[in-house]
Chain A
């Protein structure tokens, strides 16, 4: 990787922050005419505006620092740290994707089914391959979670939609929760 592309990549985060804060400062409230009618000098937008300004300012300083470092690095041809090898980035992406999927599935499938599926899949990508271990961990883990959070703590965790709702209610009746 050349020092320039590396430096540009490092500029991306502060640049994004600066752009983001500029964009957001135009959309603090739905209707800015309401703010203008208030007698209050600070008002509801004063504080967010201040914070956006602070984030923007910090991002500017950050960019300046990176540019300075970039110039120096270009002059001296100092080697740039390469990324750590052997780190399973691919697996991290799968993991993050799975976490997000879990969140999406939760209201649709209901807590019990979504959780069981998530735990099983997570263990699979984490390297647990023995079917028995997998089944036991998923089964016992989920039943314990259900007893603790649904029966004891009486949390209104999602039961899912349609047929999944029916399944969850039936499962709860089977487990003696309802």
Chain B
């Protein structure tokens, strides 16, 4: 029971007052940064990085780990309360979380989201503690064809989510994929679709697109709804949840957690993909899929659990192999390197205390998150009483700062504002913006994996189907697509299509 003894030491380290204070402040900072529309927790981690030089390595990692855990959740607060995802990973939380708020169940939605997230995060942190080495070798088995198959599954999920407008979702997703190809290509470094604009060579960042589409479009819509600046965001507290309510969504939480843990370990996929796949799987699996999007608790619990379940397992490739899978873990890598720590197999033997303190911090962070997130959520609910004009003005300023902060580039602000205008019109015409964002996220990954696979396997396309893991994932994607599209296709096969419902332009 070497691990338990080590873990006990880790807990002692993590609960050391100095470390603990930084863990808690990191957690709070993460939740707040995540919850602020526009500012993502990756921004917050990058901003916090210079401060961590001054801290001892263990404290630095606790601090960043706290921001990470808190930030991945925090984004859901604004998703649920104002329909603006605070971070890309909280995108699916808008779909059933915000309808709950509109029904006056915001507090209930927040409690479910927090509990599901904390559960997912905790399980994931336990996996990190007890299963890091085997999980790491699992991650190494994945080569480019497997990554490609996983992104295809993510894209298929986006279409599967679309209930009544698969065509619109497909258009939106392909537009996103197209936007994702802007910039230099991954193999030759050749600029594409830049139309002579040098700034476009670096590509269009998905966070910037998301902030524009969701935050700015939503805010502009907000000031127009009622004359005179009346309040149009409802944030009634609603009924609190009891344990029995949570018990009802237990299978959703478990499914989300399982998916999140698995996807988290794959470098590059990350929390957003985990949450999107979990939402679409849940839609098929829970039996109430046809009512998803109207405020179903299952539809909120599953992606919430999945997105935080990626946090622990995403640390596995980082700590065991020194391979960061996402922007957040890359910043953690930077913090470790600047402290002279080399993540990798040796870290476990040379810095056992440090590693287990990180593990313990992750466990504690997920538990404390329940309290921290409740507190921040309450403050944010109060903020909703601010007149929408003032709230909107600051959301736009934060969006601009957040878009700027992604790469410290003013061009990103212009891109964000342009997508804000587009987002407003998409909102007015009920054109779904979420598939576009997922397309921008997955497009570049998908292309890279595809091209590197071909380079590595002599240009043989069959490799995607003949390799066992990628073949299985692709087959699953195909089955999944067929399954979710069946209700749409079935009537088409029997008789001529009924009159398609008119898109209603409503406020």
Contact = CB atoms under 8 A, between A and B. Distances in A.
Question: Is A in direct contact with B (CB under 8 Å) within the complex?
Answer: yes
Interface in A121-156: 122-123, 125-128, 137, 141, 145, 149, 152-156
Interface string A21-60: 1001001111000110010111111011001101100110
B168 to A, nearest CB: 8
B365 interface: no
The 3 residue pairs across chains A and B that have the minimum distance between CB atoms: A126-B389, A127-B229, A44-B185
A178 interface: no
Interface in B386-417: 387-390, 392-394, 396-397, 400-401, 404-405, 408, 410, 413-414, 417
B228 interface: yes
Contacts of B5: none
Contacts, number: 179
Contacts of A45: 192
A73 B387 CA distance: 43
A126 B400 contact: no
A113 interface: no
B499 A72 contact: yes
Given A126-B388, A128-B389, A48 B192 contact: yes
Interface residues of B, number: 67
Given A128-B229, A153-B47, A44 B193 contact: no
Nearest to A84: B507
Nearest to B498: A72
Interface in B30-61: 47, 50
Interface stretch (B20-28, B175-183, B355-363): B175-183
Interface in A83-97: 83-84, 86-89, 91-92, 95-96
B178 A44 contact: no
Contact of B225 (A68, A87, A115, A137): A87
Interface residues of A, number: 70
Interface of A: 13-14, 17, 21, 24, 27-30, 34-35, 38, 40-45, 47-48, 51-52, 54-55, 58-59, 61-62, 65, 68-69, 72, 80-81, 83-84, 86-89, 91-92, 95-96, 99-100, 102-103, 106-107, 115, 118-119, 122-123, 125-128, 137, 141, 145, 149, 152-158
A99 B224 contact: no
Interface string B482-507: 00000000000000010110111111
A156 B39 CA distance: 15
B95 interface: no
A99 B190 CA distance: 33
Nearest to A55: B174
B408 A44 contact: no
B223 interface: yes
A107 B393 contact: no
Contacts of A14: 171
A61 B166 CA distance: 12
B390 A128 contact: yes
A119 B393 contact: yes
A44 B393 contact: no
B223 A28 contact: no
Contacts of A65: 167, 500
Contacts of B47: 152-155
B424 A96 contact: yes
Contacts of B171: 14, 17, 55, 58-59, 62
A28 to B, nearest CB: 5
16 contacts: A13-B429, A27-B193, A40-B187, A42-B451, A43-B188, A44-B187, A47-B185, A54-B177, A65-B167, A72-B499, A92-B224, A103-B413, A125-B223, A126-B390, A127-B228, A127-B229
A83 B397 CA distance: 31
Given A51-B177, A92-B220, A122-B392, A84 B167 contact: no
B52 to A, nearest CB: 14
Contacts of A152: 47
B191 A29 contact: yes
A55 B177 CA distance: 9
B454 interface: yes
A85 B221 CA distance: 15
B507 A123 contact: no
Contact of A69 (B50, B174, B417, B499): B499
B447 interface: yes
B342 to A, nearest CB: 28
B258 interface: no
A59 B431 CA distance: 13
Nearest to A122: B393
